[in-house]
Structure 1
Amino acid sequence: MQRRDWTDIIGGSLLLIFGLWFLWHAQNHYNLGELRRMGPGAFPAGLGLLNALFGLLILVPAFFRKGEMPVPAIRPLLAIIAGGLSFAFLIEPAGLVPATVALVFVVALAEQKQRWLRTAILAAALSVMAVLVFTKGLGIPVPAFRWWSY
């Protein structure tokens, strides 16, 4: 056992750093406006401030708790990155449904034991929801299927 909770120290520090960066970026690149008429930078500045505050709420108590140094799991990290890249590379040439299916199946490799039926059901459900939400609901012009028209 270590004398500090390193998992929360690392996580709280990252939240604090990113929150402060978002707050700084919003203040320096956007007009914050006034309380009666908020500008385009008010919302990102508020989110950055909240993120930094949550980071502090996680970080400060972690110095007074016992914990262990976290050991990063490489397999899930690589599977999630590969899933995001597969979606990014397939969305344009193949369409939303094949890209979503590829994303789900590649990210499922993060688990030690694959459950292919559950993964197939999840891929089908997420594909249907993605088409309904993004193409039908929001009107984003991304086709469900596009078979390598390049």
Structure 2
Amino acid sequence: MKGTRDYHDIIGGTLMIAGGAWFSLYALNYNLGTLRRMGPAYFPLGIGVLVVLFGLLLVLPALRRPGGVPRPELRPFLAICAAVLAFALAVERAGLVPATLVLTALAAWAERAPDLRLTAILGLALSARAVLVFTQGLGIPIPAIRWSL
């Protein structure tokens, strides 16, 4: 259905503005510091302000642009929520690689007909990258695979 405004971008931009504002306000609970000696709130505040600005850049043109009215779909929302929850529950018990594979498999069901071959390749690539970045690069003590469940 066509509308007089682009509601897809209005909703997305408004969510970005709300998220960036919350992030910025929450960062103010910490010491901001100075430009020469930045405190723990400096970077999160800056990122939050940038997200608010990008949200405004998305919303303002959409107010004068015709577009469609979004039709909510429950399947992608539930698939992504289930994927994140499954990852959170599996990472401690099974390790980073199995948790990432489960996350990728469940998130793929957000599409109507996911390509299983591409999902498997993506899961393996994300698992390898996660191990390299988090355990090797950052030194976070998460086992790649926990053999004793």
TM-score by shorter chain over 0.5: yes
Q: 1:89 Cα shift?
A: 0.9
**Does the Cα contact within 8 Å between 1:93 and 1:147 map onto a contact in 2?**
no
Deviations 1:70-119 (A, max 9, x none): 11222111111111111111111111111111111111222222322222
**Does the Cα contact within 8 Å between 1:80 and 1:107 map onto a contact in 2?**
yes
The structure with the largest alpha-carbon Rg is 1
- Structure 1: how far apart are the matches of 2:61 and 2:10? 9
Alignment of 1:24 onto 2:44? no
- Structure 2: how far apart are the matches of 1:142 and 1:82? 22
The TM-score normalised by the length of structure 2 is 0.88
1:15 maps to what in 2? 16
The TM-score normalised by the length of structure 1 is 0.88
Q: 1:147 Cα shift?
A: 3.2
- Structure 2: how far apart are the matches of 1:70 and 1:43? 34
Percent identity between matched residues is: 55
Deviations 1:48-89 (A, max 9, x none): 211111111111111111111111222111111111111111
- How many residues end up aligned between the 2 structures? 148
Q: 1:130 Cα shift?
A: 1.6
- Structure 2: how far apart are the matches of 1:54 and 1:64? 17
Distance of aligned partners of 1:21 and 1:121 in 2 relative to their CA distance in 1, 3 Å threshold:
closer
2:62 maps to what in 1? 62
Unaligned runs of 5+ in 1: none
Deviations 1:12-49 (A, max 9, x none): 1112222222222223x122223333322222221121
Q: 1:145 Cα shift?
A: 1.3
**Does the Cα contact within 8 Å between 1:3 and 1:66 map onto a contact in 2?**
yes
Aligned partner of 1:67: which letter? G
1:43-54 correspondence runs (5 A): 43-54=43-54
2:138 maps to what in 1? 138
- Structure 1: how far apart are the matches of 2:145 and 2:36? 46
- Structure 1: how far apart are the matches of 2:137 and 2:17? 35
- Report the RMSD for the aligned CA atoms in angstroms: 1.6
- Structure 2: how far apart are the matches of 1:95 and 1:58? 39
Q: 1:148 Cα shift?
A: 4.3
Aligned partner of 2:91: which letter? I
2:84 maps to what in 1? 84
Unaligned runs of 5+ in 2: none
